[in-house]
Each structure stands twice: as C-alpha cells, then as structure tokens.
Amino acid sequence: MNKILIVDDEEKIREVLKEYAEFEGYEVFEADDGFKAMEMAKKYDFSIIIMDIMMPKLDGFSAVKEIRKTSNVPVLMLSARSEEYDKLFGFELGIDDYVVKPFSPKEVMARINAIISRSNKNESQEFFKFGGLMIDLDGREVYVDGVKINLTPKEYDLLVYLVANKNKAIKRETLLSEIWGYDFYGDDRTIDTHIKMLRNNLGEYREYIETIRGVGYKFNEKALIKNED
C-alpha cells in the first residue's frame, strides 16, 4: 500500500486530503509542522509527501531542503502563495508539483496519482548505460566514468525522461507537463535552466543532450560517436 504524508498546520486541510486519499486506498500519515515531517520522512518509506509552505516552527521550503539531503521521495507542495518566484524556488529544491490554495481535492489526488505512476514507471528498468554515462534507476543515481554525480531530483527526472525517449525531439511543453505534472503558466526558463545545470553536471557527456531549435531537446545516443568521427 502506498504511504502518503500530509504536512499542513491547518487540520481541516489535512482531514479533507486524508479522506480523499484513504478513499483511493492510500495509507495516510499526518504532520503539522516541518520538523515532524523531517522525522517521519526518516522513519517511513513514503510514496509521496504533500507539503504546505507556511507553517510554524519550520516552513515547508526548509523541510524539503533537509529531506532532500537523504531522500528523493516525490513532493507536492501546497501554498496560498501563487508568485512565480515561489514556484521556481520550490522546483529548484526538487519538488515534483506545486498547487495553489484554495484547491480541488480531486485535482490534488489526480496529481498525486500521476506523480506516483511516473515514479513507478521509471523503476521498471534497472539502469541505462551509454558509454561512460550510467543511470541507476533503482538507486536514482547517475555516474560519469564511474564517479557518482550529484543531480537535483528535477535534473535526474529530466535526464531519465529524455533517455527513456532517446532519439526523439521532445517539446519544452511536453517536458514541463511530464516532469512537473501540470501545465506550467510561464516561460521556458524553467526547462532551459535545468537543462543547463544538467549538462554542466554531465561533463563531456553533455553532448548527448541536443537542443532542437524552436522545439526543445533530444537525447541523441549517437552524439558522441558523431563528434569522434
């Protein structure tokens, strides 16, 4: 049974989400501040964490930052703040989705199901390997010439999605929808910024990720071979 942790200092919000989640068969845990969420994330293997931003003792951003030091558990963030800055900051920390209050419980559950489905799909294969670039799907780790590199959760998800669809040109809108799980209302800076950071981390294997002008990006498994010819 999938375990969900709902973190919010408003009891009514936790009650509503718990009711919908339990109806769909999830085992639900609750916390009313960031410190409790951090401790529970260490104790339990959650399928996803629903995290509010504005909470007493420790805010949601700080809690996610600490959790990310030891876990890549998917995180859906809830907030009454709709500013683009807050959303981008959350994604830079490694959250998987961002929902603005007030929200529809049905929509939140749809997003939760989509995130968990993508996570489970990525775990169906053990690893990808292209030359000295190796992606360990079980451990959510990436190695360059045998050396582990540190990627943010979103950089990792982007890399895995591009590799899973290798040699196909993927539109920026598709990447936003598939990786972030919803239609992003803004420009393409989110994808471009994450691709830039990902390429920097891949070193010489950055060439695998090609920019398709006017479209988006593609993982070209023959890119390095072409460059060597």
- Check whether residue 89 and residue 178 sit in a common domain: no
- Check whether residue 190 and residue 205 sit in a common domain: yes
Query: For the domain that residue 212 is a member of, what is the CATH number?
Result: 1.10.10.10
In order along its 229 residues, the chain shows pLDDT tens digits of 789 999 999 999 999 999 999 998 999 999 999 999 999 998 898 999 999 999 988 999 999 999 988 888 899 999 887 777 888 888 888 888 888 888 889 989 998 988 887 776 655 557 888 888 999 887 889 999 989 999 988 899 999 999 989 999 999 888 888 887 655 554 567 889 899 999 999 999 999 999 999 899 999 988 875 444 4
List the domain range (segments joined by +) for residue 182: 126-228
Rg (CA), the chain: 18
Q: What is the per-residue burial (b if ≥16 Cβ within 10 Å, else e) of 152-178?
A: bbbbbbbbbbbbbeeeeebebebbbeb
- Check whether residue 62 and residue 20 sit in a common domain: yes
| CB-CB contact of 218 with 172 (8 Å) | no
Which of 103, 121, 139 delimits the end of a domain? 121
Query: pLDDT tens digits, residue range 32-66?
Result: 999 999 999 988 989 999 999 999 889 999 999 99
- Check whether residue 147 and residue 160 sit in a common domain: yes
- Check whether residue 29 and residue 117 sit in a common domain: yes
Which of 57, 92, 121 delimits the end of a domain? 121
The number of folded domains in the chain is 2
For the chain, the maximum distance between any two Cα atoms, rounded to a whole number of angstroms, is 63
